[in-house]
Structure 1
């Protein structure tokens, strides 16, 4: 079944990530072997269409293609952000993420910490931590 969704996270070095289907439901696993275009073009927030399959560990995307053409720019440059404790950080401002931004960064952190986590494990841990962050007002929305 052809489905449309947005990339939640994709690590082009490791070659995998997750898609959030537009019609709701579980996040869908995506792998670099199933990409139609160059893998560096698949970035968080980009809309894709794919065939939804059921894999051994849950929903899996195949024949993943970008819905809109890639931007004219090449790979985006990574920007170094100041960390807590840096001397040049303005203590009067706090970067509060939206729940979706927090979820995306959290997914990346979990996969960086332990690449053996299954999609189901990542989703359970992420859901609880997003709930905790929302309870404490650490995220917007």
Structure 2
């Protein structure tokens, strides 16, 4: 049965922790082998979806994945070209931002800006993007 809950604690080194299910009930054991996302992304309070199974010692989660959580640090989805930039660069930045947000949900706005600026600079130096 698919359930939701919040991570109570997760020890990345030991590879296990517990989830408090949204529905009333016992805490559910979680193991790193059952995570669908990178284990460093699971923190206390992270909202997750999982399938509940009965293990040898009680309830156990399988196929555990993080549920998208909106962040105040998100970059707006659209961005016009800056003064002096070709219109295509603004569109490229927007699409690159969306790709970064969609691929790693835990990136902060500052991290996205840093990666995006690095990629845009690389593309310009290779002649893949121009400013005129």
TM-score category (smaller protein) = 0.5 to 0.7
1:122 aligns to what?
none
Structure-2 residue corresponding to 1:32: 32
Task: Kindly state the Cα deviation for residue 33 of structure 1 after the two structures are TM-superposed.
Answer: 0.1
Give 5+ residue unaligned stretches, structure 2.
70-104, 109-132
Tell me the alpha carbon deviations over residues 41-83 of structure 1, each in whole angstroms, 9 at most, x when there is no partner. 010000000000000000000000001163214xxxxxxxxxx
- Tell me by how many angstroms 1:24 deviates: 1.4
SS in structure 2 of the partner of residue 65 of structure 1: strand
Give me the TM-score of the superposition, normalised by structure 2: 0.54
Q: How many residues align?
A: 73
Show the counterpart of 2:65: 65
SS at match of 2:33: helix
Segments ≥4 residues shifted beyond 3 Å = none
CA distance in 2, matches of 1:27, 1:14: 18
| Residue in structure 2 matched with residue 5 of structure 1 by the alignment | 5
RMSD: 1.0
Task: Output the CA distance in 2 between the equivalents of 1:37 and 1:13.
Answer: 16
Does 1:52 find its partner at 2:52?
Answer: yes
SS in 2 for 1:43: coil
TM-score (norm 1): 0.50
In the alignment, the residues of structure 2 paired with residue 71 and residue 51 of structure 1 have an alpha-carbon distance, to the nearest angstrom, of 23
Q: Larger Cα Rg: Structure 1 or Structure 2?
A: 2
The 2-side partners of 1:65 and 1:39 are apart by 10
